[in-house]
Amino acid sequence: MNTITLERRRLDEASPTIPAVETMVAFERVQKTYDGRTLVVEDLNLTVRRGEFLTMLGPSGSGKTTTLMMLGGFEQPTSGHILLEGKAVERLPPERRDIGFVFQNYALFPHMTVAENVGFPLRYRGIRGAEAKRRTEDALQLVKLAGLGERRPAQLSGGQQQRVALARAMVFNPKLILMDEPLGALDKQLREHMQVEIRRIQQRLGITMVYVTHDQSEALTMSDRIAVFHEGRIQQLSDPVTLYGQPENRFVAGFIGDNNTLSCEFAGTENGLGVVRMADGTLLFTTGHSGQARSNLTVSLRPERLILEGPGSRSAENRIPARVLDRTFLGDRVRLTLEAFGSERLIASVPATEGAAMLPGNRIGMACFAADCLTLAR
């Protein structure tokens, strides 16, 4: 067991009269404006559970980074409260919040060795000598950089520098680690490798992490829960499987992964399923809507849920005649751009063995199950 884990246990045992707090972080009606008129973050209510990996996901300007900066103490909320283990911290400076930080640019000191960079938070807190050395070595071993302590940051690869930044954030045993686009500067293969490594370390230590990214794949891969931000508000807070399969509105449906979002009108119910009318009058069986709104609806349909008509589609409730506009070979899959429902564009992802013969101009039949057609209010 490494020193970081031992220290976490020692601190827990030293305060036996303090009950365990399930909620690590709570935002209570937090708002932020820079100019007094436009709210960058609006009426934010959000809890982060102890030991959770929570990702704030959204496009640029959605409020996710501002929220992280308020939690870290680099920005103050205009109104509302931020609680850390039940204590209000919105007026505390960053150094008094017991939080570790990892940023996209690493923020390593170039004149210091790797070990000196990692140990810097310990020196700041008055921890020196053998104890500091032991903690630094344990942190480097945890991020698989043992033996590189005497190198300078410039002698390391981008991935190694990111590991140093992560070790530095963990070495003083913080309550919480915040990460702001930490993998944005890495190439695709290294970024995917670091996603796995960060998640492995977080689960091994059981530490609470709040992670900001605009990369949907990254969020789906790493998170326990994802908060999708748009225009200063959380649009949906869910685990990755629910978020991908059951988006709650058109923005989430269109932002998370590839998706077909098509306008439709409510046409009734049949056999417990909703029925919607598409632009050309085609009726589709759907799920996910109560039928209260009879217009201004959207059907959400993932490309991989569309299947070519054949033996595997016989039990599907919906039949969709289409014309192939374009075909893109992606290795094991073929991406088809289709024209359907009159003049609507539809994207389908089918196995390469089935889609290889589909040429632009071909008229084909597609099918889908009602369970895969989710009706949303616009």
> How far is residue 51 from each of residues 5, 8, 93, 190, 202, measured CA to CA in Å?
13, 12, 23, 25, 8
d(CA 289, CA 38): 33
d(CA 351, CA 329): 10
Q: Which residues of the chain have pLDDT under 70?
A: 1-21, 289-295, 378
What is the distance of C-alpha 191 from the center of its chain? Answer: 14
pLDDT digits (tens, 9 = 90+) for 93-150: 998 999 999 988 888 999 999 999 999 999 989 999 999 999 999 999 999 999 999 9
DSSP state of 232: T
Contact 101, 162 (CB under 8 A): no
Length of the chain: 378
Contact 334, 358 (CB under 8 A): yes
State which amino acid sits at residue 325: L
Beta-carbon contacts of 163 under 8 Å, excluding residues fewer than 6 positions away, are: 143, 144, 145, 194, 197
pTM for the full model? 0.87
361, with CB counted inside 10 A (0-12, 13-18, 19+), is exposed
The candidate with the shortest Cα–Cα distance to 102, out of 23, 227, 194, is 194
d(CA 205, CA 94): 23
Beta-carbon contacts of 142 under 8 Å, excluding residues fewer than 6 positions away, are: 2, 4, 167, 170, 201, 204, 205
pLDDT score, position 176: 96
pLDDT digits (tens, 9 = 90+) for 276-314: 999 999 999 998 765 555 667 899 999 999 999 988 888
CA atoms within 13 A on the CB side of 206: 8
Sheet of strand 260-270, all strands in order from the earlier edge strand to the far edge: 283-286, 273-277, 260-270, 297-301, 374-377
Beta-carbon contacts of 78 under 8 Å, excluding residues fewer than 6 positions away, are: 31, 32, 33
Q: What residue ranges define each of the domains in the chain, with the CATH number in brackets?
A: 3-98+174-245 (3.40.50.300), 259-377 (2.40.50.100)
